[in-house]
Amino acid sequence: MNGYRGFRKILFELYFATMPLHAWLIRGRATRRAYLNLKASEFIGAEELRDLQLVRLREILQHAFSTSDYYRKTFLNLGLHPNDISDLNQLSKLPFLSKDDVRENINAGLLSSAISRKHLHKISTSGSTGQPFTIYADREQLEIRFASTLRSLEWTGWRFGDRQARLWHQTIGMKWSQVVREKMDALLMQRLFVPAFEISPDNIEEFINQIRRHNPVLIDGYAESLNFLATYLRQDGSPGFRPAAVMSSAQALPATTRKVIEEGLGTQVFDKYGSREFSGIAYECAAHTYHHVIDECYIVELLVEGRPARPGEIGEVVITDLFNRATPMIRYRIGDLAVAVEQRPCSCGRSHSMIGDIEGRTQAVVHCADGTWLPGTFFAHFFKDYESTIRFFQIEQKHKGVFKLRIVKSATFSSQDMVNIEQKLRRFTGETKIELEFVQSIPLVRTGKRSPVVSTVPIDFQTLSAPPNRPVR
């Protein structure tokens, strides 16, 4: 069972019983069952998890082969059949699925012919490059998404019935009927939405008062928005509330940003790694060591030059969704980079596979003149020493060997600071040309996020060798 008693059990059962009224497409009983199944597998052994993954992998491969023209042609061109994949390691026999592959084939053979259009949910994003990107999820995938999110929220100490506050984009891109259901769902979950893209120095106190009145046990949201909130609170004094935990998501979380959030909100931070295509992929547990992959739902590969990344190496994240039968996503190159870690027992007791720090996106790799490449998170670590003199920064690269550095100065910034910054940067960038631009602001995108590194340099990470002078953290 779910482990809830008393009023929490009543709320839990009421929530799922009324789900058709406040959820899109997903059903109460099925979602409840998915949650209970995930709770049952939460502490099974690593070997059992791999066996479960293999069963589900073979099911999704067979489904894709039978109902998707794109995958059937892919298998036949390789001389393969789904039955030939009898081990998780044999997944590497299949080619990658790129974002361009999805864009070109989403309405030309990639979608499953077995899923009715009325049961599809469109998932769209502009992506980090601003280029539109769309996939579809079916009912089962949406149900397992929500169920895994609910289970993972519990890893922070939150329990069903506790109050939440969410710094998010709230209702962007929703139809009016979806907005109504979202508000009903928030009411039942005791969730306060704070529109991240509207927070500014002029209104932040108003939003803090809203959070203070709500007094949430858990606050979650964009790392950038949480950082902004915590920085203000750290300078202004006590927030008047103390959440038991904060969950950061949607952006990389450098150690410096984590520290600011923990100090500003007086609590511990749990990092979530997710995406629009999959929702939550991996979460931190209370040990705060690494991210646990939701192995029941996904197979996550970290690859360097086509091989599995070794512990300590930065690898490209490649994901296979074990539940989306509408748009089969098999070995999908999501465009993210993460650190591979040794797979060992975690003190929390869970045996799920683990990944280390999320190092940003493949499009956020900065290419230096001498061939060195730097992950986007390097700059977050670098500029931590200048948080008192620089409000925001942004790196933009359009060609290898040169990038533009935009800086929003604070009142204490001096010309000597700029001299020091450039001298220290040169230790890592060498003779790379740095074009400096001082600006008044670096705007958030409409979903409330700010991109610290933007690159349009075309590169295939699997053909990119490891950087010879990667900075040590």
- Domains of the chain with bracketed CATH: 365-463 (3.30.300.30)
CA 208 to CA 198: how far, in whole Å?
13
Sequence letter at residue 311: P
List all residues 6 or more positions away from 180 whose beta carbon is below 8 Å from its beta carbon: none
Residue 464: per-residue pLDDT? 67
Cα-based torsion angle of the residue sequence 360, 293, 89, 359 in order, rounded to the nearest 10 degrees: 10
Q: Among candidates 378, 386, 389, which has minimal Cα distance to 452?
A: 378
- The model's pTM is 0.81
CA 329 to CA 110: how far, in whole Å?
9
CA 116 to CA 466: how far, in whole Å?
45
Residue 468: per-residue pLDDT? 44
CA 306 to CA 353: how far, in whole Å?
20
How open is the CA angle 145-282-150, to the nearest 5 degrees? 40
Per-residue pLDDT of the chain (473 residues; tens, 9 = 90+): 567 999 999 999 999 999 988 887 788 899 999 999 999 999 999 999 999 999 999 999 999 999 999 999 999 999 999 999 999 999 999 999 999 999 999 989 999 999 888 888 888 775 544 456 889 999 999 999 999 999 999 999 999 999 999 987 655 556 777 778 888 888 889 999 888 767 777 788 888 899 999 999 999 988 878 888 888 888 776 677 889 999 998 777 878 788 889 989 999 999 999 988 998 999 999 999 999 999 999 999 999 989 999 999 999 999 999 999 999 999 999 988 899 999 999 999 999 999 998 887 666 678 888 877 777 667 776 876 787 788 888 888 888 889 999 998 888 888 888 888 888 888 888 889 999 999 988 765 444 455 677 777 877 777 765 554 444 33
Q: Among candidates 329, 328, 305, which has minimal Cα distance to 316?
A: 305
CA 400 to CA 455: how far, in whole Å?
10
